[in-house]
Amino acid sequence: MQMDDGLLAHARAATGFMPDDEGLLLFRRGVERAPHGPLLEVGSYCGKSAVYLGAAVRAAGAGGVLFGVDHHRGSEENQAGWEHHDASLVDPEVGLMDTLPRFRRTVHDAGLEDVVVAVVGESRTVSAHWRTPLSLLFVDGGHGREPAHADYAGWAPWVMADGLLVVHDVFPDPADGGRPPYEVYLRALAGGAFTEVEALGSMRVLRRTAGSPGDPVG
């Protein structure tokens, strides 16, 4: 199934760091899983990945939904003095990053507000109270060691049987990028709950192993 041309244009124009081929992987895998249950992304930033996944939900039909979990204050690498800081996303009244308005505008302009739900809060706090099985989990939150592993520990247990865990920014070579997403990827494989089914660029797609323990964290 091809992504709608208009939505693809919105995704490409949205603020963010995801290459087009990886975004289209999200769309394709989202179409596969949306009929089976909700999708959830950790780390929405300005909505680029939400358009790819929201377009998948729209294309799949059947009343699907994408939840986007983010505190919208920017990850460590988005703060002032870091490589990916964008000063235009700072709220001048409080002096902090605030990507929520940009996220909402991105989703609105793409016409996806009926299938994309923003959940604003710390990933650890939200996951501690989450109780709904997920058909696809996309982990792209903070890339520091503590937040990356906390995202896995909090959300991976909710991936349903045959569901997908997608991890972004996985770089086997340390020269290419930070280690925590790669560590999370290895942790998921080592636990026996997930099996790798696809790799593209820095994206890794893992499927929940049939009959695996209910809690893959161990």
Active site residues: 143
Q: How far is CA 24 from CA 48, 121, 131, in A?
A: 11, 27, 29
3-state helix, strand, coil in the chain (%, to 5): 40, 20, 40
Q: Which long-range contacts (CB under 8 A, 24 or more apart) does 12-16 make?
A: 14/46, 14/47, 14/48, 14/51, 14/106, 15/45, 15/46, 15/47, 15/48, 15/86, 15/89, 15/102, 15/106, 16/45, 16/46, 16/47, 16/48, 16/49
Query: Using the 8-state DSSP alphabet, how is residue 79 labeled?
Result: S
Question: How does DSSP assign 88-128, residue by residue?
Answer: GGEETTTTEE--HHHHHHHHHHTT-TTTEEEEES-HHHHHH
| Strand, helix or coil for residue 174 | helix
Phi, psi of 116 (to 5 degrees): -120, 120
